[in-house]
Amino acid sequence: MPQYPTMQIPSRLPLVVSTSNRGSSTNTDARLVNCYLETDTSTGDIFICKRPGIFSAGVIADGKSGQGVFFWEGSVYSVFDGVFYRDGVQVATGLDNTGGVYQFSSILGATHKMVLNNGKQGYAYDVVNGLSANLHSINVSYPQTTVKGWAYLNGAQYVMNPEAVIWGSAINSVSQAGDWNALNFISAQMEPDPGVALNRQLVYVVAFNSWSTEVFFDAGNAQGSPLGNVQGSKQSYGCASADSIQRIDDVLFWISTNESAQIQVAKMERLGLSIISTAPIDRLLKNASLAAGQVMSWQIKINGHSFYVLTVKSLNLTLAYDIVENRWDQWTDSDGNYFPIVASTYDSQGRHVLQHESDGRLYYMDSAYFSDGASEPIVVDIYTPIFDASTRRGKSLSMMEIVGDQVTGSMLMMQYSDDDYQTWSKPRYFFLGQKRPIMSELGTFSKRAFHFRHEKDCHFRIQAVEVQYDLGVI
């Protein structure tokens, strides 16, 4: 005779969720905070993992504002409040500190040079000669005002001014007399919108304007600019913030906008544009201030994941887009505010280096760090969707079990809400050092959302939450 189970197989709560806010607030609905998903491709199992922590790489300029960091020719270069540092040692002072974060590039030639600009001033640097005077050659042909960004292509550096005119340098030279020929320019003016930023993808120069984007290639023109317009490449999406642009594995990510002023997050891959923000993310960004200094972005590639990290200060919000998993989560500092990082790079040992917004420090980021700094906990929050077991009949929840990694000293707080995220029960705790962390006698409900929080200085990874319940009458 067939055998039947003597008790119900436990259900599992829906933990793996995308940010699903119904409005512009981050305080309701399902979301994951300070974590990311990892899929076991051999089994299909999905785990929620604590995000990597940060640890101080040393005080560079105590209490100064971070304005950009870049790895070049074996050293980490950084700008703090207009002071330029190489491996933490001051190189030069007096850089413009009104344009926010600098964007960097480099150029070859007899003397290799690093170039940087912030939308106010541009500079060239080489190890032998140190900092040069803001890139203006003797004939003053370098544009007096440029937008942020560089595009290096076939030996030349390109910059753009606010009138969407792209200027090119001489081959392998940017700071000598005559390097910026007054005739070496081309306009990105299919639309009458002003220029916002310049960047590069593959072998193309990408010009971001306010509500359109144009693409150029090296056409080899003997006169004027070598660049020519790539036919059919114009996009009806522009850039709402130059500071939102990141190039990750030759894919461009940025906050886009169009003539209807709709703010979304876009990416350009092989010149094809697509929107990667979801409707809930668009709702969060709807009321964002994108004025200068209000947006920060950076990138990190770690543990097989590539993250595009975007902060909007006016919303007190940092969003991390996992390119591998194609999903968004929220990252915060230990107090629940935005994650205060302005730029990222790496060092000669391959360590991820982040620049803090305001404390004058650089930080290493690694999954081996379970807190931020020496003592600030990473607060992981998991807010589930409302669970009703596909029926609004009353349910008596007799047991809950955590399915995750067993770590001595690790604890997981649990609360629940039976009134649509408005109020929460008193906290109860699972001890994750136990083989089977179980909690019993969890009351009755018709619909319920759960909140789980982990803030111990240790490893945390969870796969599922199993629940055992009994149905009541209608």
pLDDT at 375: 82
- Residue 335, judged by CB atoms within 10 A of its CB (0-12, 13-18, 19+), counts as exposed
Instruction: Identify the pLDDT of residue 264.
Output: 96
pTM (2 d.p.): 0.94
| 297 and 313 share one domain | yes
Q: What is the pLDDT of residue 8?
A: 63
**Is the residue at 23 inside a domain?**
no
In a domain, 33, yes or no: no
Q: What are phi and psi of 284, to 5 degrees?
A: -65, -40
Same domain for 307 and 221: yes
Site of tokens 């319940």? 469
CB-count exposure of residue 367 (10 Å: 0-12, 13-18, 19+): middle
Same domain, 366 and 390: no
pLDDT digits (tens, 9 = 90+) for 34-81: 999 999 888 989 999 999 999 999 999 999 999 999 999 999 999 999
Confidence of residue 1 (pLDDT cuts 50, 70, 90): very low
Residue 258 CA, distance from chain mean position: 22
Distance between CA atoms of residues 235 and 324, nearest Å: 25
Whether residues 304 and 439 share a domain: the answer is no
Give me the count of residues in the chain: 474
Q: Mean per-residue pLDDT for 290-315?
A: 96
Average pLDDT score over residue span 275-298: 94
Range of the domain at 425: 11-17+384-471
Within-domain flag for 452? yes
Coil, helix or strand at residue 242: helix
**Whether residue 293 is found in the same domain as residue 428:** no
To the nearest 10°, the Cα dihedral for 8, 14, 15, 21?
Answer: -150
Domain boundary among 376, 406, 441: 376
- Residue 27, pLDDT score: 85
- Tens-place pLDDT, residues 102-151: 999 999 988 899 999 999 999 999 988 888 777 776 677 888 899 999 99
pLDDT of residue 3: 46
Q: Is residue 25 included in any domain, yes or no?
A: no
Angle among Cα 420, 15, 462 to the nearest 5 degrees reads 135
Assess if residue 5 is contained within a domain.
no
Q: Is 355 in contact with 66 (CB distance < 8 Å)?
A: yes
Name residue 343's beta-bridge partners.
355
Mean of the pLDDT values across residues 416-424? 96
d(CA 86, CA 65): 16
Of the candidates 323, 385, 264, 320, the one whose C-alpha atom is nearest the C-alpha of residue 20 is 385
Which residue is listed with tokens 């207009």? 82
Q: What would the 3-class secondary structure string for 395-449 be?
A: EEEEEEEEEECCCCCCEEEEEEECCCCCCCCCCEEEECCCCCCEEECCCEECCEE
Number of domains in the chain: 2
pLDDT > 90: what percent of the chain? Answer: 81
- What is the reported pLDDT for 474? 59
- Angstrom distance (rounded) from CA 212 to CA 233: 11
pLDDT digits over 335-354, tens only? 999 999 999 999 999 999 99
Domain termination residue (choose one: 334, 349, 376): 376
Structure tokens at 8: 């119900």
**Amino acid letter, residue 247:** R
- Distance between CA atoms of 257 and 243, rounded to whole angstroms? 14
Who has greater pLDDT, 474 or 232? Answer: 232
Task: Please check whether residues 187 and 89 belong to one and the same domain.
Answer: yes
Count of alpha carbons within 13 Å of 315, Cβ hemisphere only?
Answer: 25
How are strands ordered across the β-sheet holding 122-126? 103-107, 113-117, 122-126, 130-131
Give bridge partners of residue 321 from the DSSP assignment.
308, 328
Domain shared by 355 and 465, yes or no: no
Q: In 10 A of CB 126, how many CB atoms?
A: 17
Residue 199 to residue 266: CA distance in whole angstroms: 15
Spell out the residues 6+ positions from residue 305 whose beta carbon is closer than 8 angstroms to its own. Answer: 36, 38, 322, 323, 324, 325
What's the pLDDT at 138?
A: 64
In-domain check, residue 95: yes
What confidence tier does 152 reach under pLDDT thresholds 50, 70, 90?
Answer: very high
399 inside domain: yes
Do 398 and 281 lie in one domain? The reply is no
Do 320 and 455 reside in the same domain of the chain?
A: no
Looking at the domain assignment, is residue 284 inside a domain? Answer: yes
Is the pLDDT assigned to residue 362 strictly greater than 50?
yes
Tell whether the model's pLDDT for residue 7 goes beyond 60.
no
Q: Specify the 3-state DSSP secondary structure of 315.
A: helix
Comparing 19 with 272, the larger pLDDT belongs to 272
- Quote the CA–CA distance of 306 and 160 in Å, as a whole number: 29
Q: Is the pLDDT of residue 456 over 50?
A: yes
pLDDT computed for residue 473 by the predictor: 63
Whether pLDDT at 4 is above 50: no
Q: What is the CATH number of the domain that holds 273?
A: 2.130.10.10
Pure H helices in 214-339: 279-285
194 and 257 within one domain: yes
Residue 395 and residue 321 share a domain: no
Is residue 443 domain-shared with residue 369, that is, in the same domain? no
Which of these three, 334, 350, 376, is where a domain ends?
Answer: 376
